[in-house]
Copies of this chain bind each other. A is one copy, B any other.
Amino acid sequence: MAPKGFPELLKEHEDELVESLLHWSLSNGLIMYPPNYAKYQANNAPITLFPTPFPKKLYENAIEVQEVFNELYVNVISKEKEWLIAKIKELSEFDQSFTGELFNIYQKILSENGGKLKQELSLGLFRSDYMINSVDETIKQIEFNTISVSFGGLSSKVGKLHQYLNNSGYYDDKYSMKYYDNEHIPISNSINKLAKGINEANYYYNDQTHNTKTVILFIIQEGERNVFDQRHIEYSLIENHQLKSYRLSLEKVQEEVVINNDKLYIKQTMDEVSVVYYRSGYGPNDYTSSKCWESRYLLEKTLAIKCPSILTQLSGTKKIQQILTNEEILKKLLPKIDTKTYNQLLSTFVKIYPLDDSEEGKYAKKIIFEDSSKFVLKPQREGGGNNIYKEDIPKFLQKIDEKDWGAYILMELIHPPKYSNKIIRNDEIYNEDIISELGIFGSIIFNETTGEIKLNFESGHLLRSKFSSSNEGGVAAGFGCVDNIYLYE
């Protein structure tokens, strides 16, 4: 059955819908700081007016494979460590100043501690991102994020907003009915589930160290505009788990912490930190000076559980994503997987090629100059916004030295369906076709040495949408926004 489109409202009804949407967003923390903000003033976050259709079956697929994906990455990190490290070494060649630096810290810590980690337990708060491929009606994984996954806070809020607008009748042209069945526009419980992941890691730390009163340390960017997204998780930690959090930037860590017997303390209070939760440190821009790298080193070498550890962070590079699409490797890493789940997992992969001297790499280097129209070129590094599409790829590759091609992967283009929706940014309404990306959050606590998994659970969803034209680089105004799913069968 085709999904119904968004409701056609009279101008005056849309005005009321928008006013109610803005009041709700501002009242309930669905907000962001604007650029050049004052700390006492916030704007509504860019969001869609309506939830966006998403086939129920594909949403369920994504939910069903999340724990398997969590496990897959944990198995890479723990059971194929040598192999992972070899790959990271290769990557470091292309990216000495970031991947290389992280890897150096990892090696240094091991060598200082007789080849062992001080803290073998690791917390992963992951997010697997998908787009629908309309060619074969499957979801295809865009990337698997292993550090600083964001929008778990605002995603819960936008779901509540859409249900509020639905319940209040604003989506109905006569105000008298619910336009959607609330079951079809589920609210992501990501705020509480991500907080639960952190709380559970805190529990394991306390169990290990015979502690009772520990705190969480959020590592944050100075001047973060998306701070409320993070704060919602902090509020859930204190409200639901009586667990206190501190916030420090990498710039300030060294002045504000004390390390004693490998334990990490907040200097002022001597509160002991159980979990270091990175909401910064995922890209080179987060390390503004060598001081920040030292901070990272200091944190890593403590007994605190890191979310994520360096190896977990580095397992999220696109190179690993590319390798994991190989069926043999996949079977080796998930030996006990049942056929149904295995096929579900496989169905989410698009072809990804390396651009190196392997057989596959050689093949890719050939075909990209024959027909580039089916591909996107992505840098290994985190960040986004640096992708190169279609016919721009050969031109780009010709401009750089072939030995640097290995810093990129070549990925088959996904053809997402376009939907009508309306995006609100400040008080401007944009009415264009959008494409959407579904993210599924996952929480996992595991032993990085033994691979033992203590806890593994799916942790809510996120839909982000942008103008379909912005994917092609055509529209300057193409910004993303937080959306929610409207499930249809």
A100–chain B nearest beta-carbon distance, Å: 35
> Which partner residue on chain B sits nearest A428 by CB separation?
B40
Contact with B along A163-194 (1 / 0, CB 8 A): 01001110000111000000000000000000
> Which partner residue on chain B sits nearest A41 by CB separation?
B43
* B268/A427 in contact, CB under 8 A: no
Q: Specify which chain B residues have a CB less than 8 angstroms from the CB of A426 in the assembled complex.
A: 38, 40-41
A239–chain B nearest beta-carbon distance, Å: 8
A454 within 8 A of B: no
* B175/A266 in contact, CB under 8 A: yes
* A235/B26 in contact, CB under 8 A: no
Q: Specify which chain B residues have a CB less than 8 angstroms from the CB of A13 in the assembled complex.
A: 268
Assuming A169-B244, A176-B271, A244-B167, is B26 touching A42 (CB within 8 A)?
A: yes
Assuming A28-B29, A174-B268, A244-B167, is B40 touching A427 (CB within 8 A)?
A: yes
Tell me the number of copies of this protein: 2
* A44, B19: Cα distance in complex, Å: 19
A225–chain B nearest beta-carbon distance, Å: 12
Among A22, A41, A235, the most chain B Cβ lie within 10 Å of the Cβ of A41
* A168/B231 in contact, CB under 8 A: no
Q: Specify which chain B residues have a CB less than 8 angstroms from the CB of A242 in the assembled complex.
A: 167
A24 within 8 A of B: yes
A475 within 8 A of B: no
Contact with B along A228-262 (1 / 0, CB 8 A): 10011001001000101100000000000000000
A31 within 8 A of B: yes
Taking residues whose C-beta sits less than 8 angstroms from the other chain, chain A's interface range is 35 or more
A39 within 8 A of B: yes
* B244/A26 in contact, CB under 8 A: no
A180–chain B nearest beta-carbon distance, Å: 15
Cβ-neighbour of A269 out of B23, B174, B227, B271 (below 8 A): B174
Cβ-neighbour of A41 out of B42, B168, B169, B227 (below 8 A): B42
* A268/B175 in contact, CB under 8 A: yes
A364–chain B nearest beta-carbon distance, Å: 46
Q: Specify which chain B residues have a CB less than 8 angstroms from the CB of A398 in the assembled complex.
A: none
* A168, B169: Cα distance in complex, Å: 39
Q: Specify which chain B residues have a CB less than 8 angstroms from the CB of A97 in the assembled complex.
A: none
A283–chain B nearest beta-carbon distance, Å: 23
A417 within 8 A of B: no
> Which partner residue on chain B sits nearest A12 by CB separation?
B268
Q: Specify which chain B residues have a CB less than 8 angstroms from the CB of A34 in the assembled complex.
A: 41
* A276, B426: Cα distance in complex, Å: 32
* A270, B177: Cα distance in complex, Å: 12
* B268/A227 in contact, CB under 8 A: no
A27 within 8 A of B: yes
* B41/A235 in contact, CB under 8 A: no
* A29, B27: Cα distance in complex, Å: 4
Q: Specify which chain B residues have a CB less than 8 angstroms from the CB of A424 in the assembled complex.
A: 40
Assuming A29-B26, A176-B271, A269-B176, is B238 touching A164 (CB within 8 A)?
A: yes
> Which partner residue on chain B sits nearest A172 by CB separation?
B269
A417–chain B nearest beta-carbon distance, Å: 29
Assuming A26-B228, A27-B31, is B167 touching A39 (CB within 8 A)?
A: no
> Which partner residue on chain B sits nearest A177 by CB separation?
B269
A164–chain B nearest beta-carbon distance, Å: 7
* B40/A168 in contact, CB under 8 A: no
Cβ-neighbour of A29 out of B29, B245, B271 (below 8 A): B29
Q: Specify which chain B residues have a CB less than 8 angstroms from the CB of A43 in the assembled complex.
A: 40-41
A234–chain B nearest beta-carbon distance, Å: 8
Cβ-neighbour of A169 out of B19, B269, B427 (below 8 A): B269
* B27/A235 in contact, CB under 8 A: yes
* A23/B227 in contact, CB under 8 A: yes
A358–chain B nearest beta-carbon distance, Å: 49
Q: Specify which chain B residues have a CB less than 8 angstroms from the CB of A38 in the assembled complex.
A: 426-427
* A24, B235: Cα distance in complex, Å: 9
* B22/A238 in contact, CB under 8 A: no
A/B interface sample: 12 pairs, CB < 8 A: A26-B228, A27-B231, A28-B28, A28-B235, A38-B426, A38-B427, A40-B43, A40-B424, A167-B242, A174-B268, A175-B266, A175-B271
The 6 closest A-B CB pairs, nearest first, are A27-B29, A175-B269, A176-B269, A26-B42, A40-B426, A40-B44
Q: Which residues of A contact B (CB under 8 A)?
A: 13, 19, 22-24, 26-29, 31, 34, 38-44, 164, 167-169, 174-176, 227-228, 231-232, 235, 238, 242, 244-245, 266, 268-271, 424, 426-427
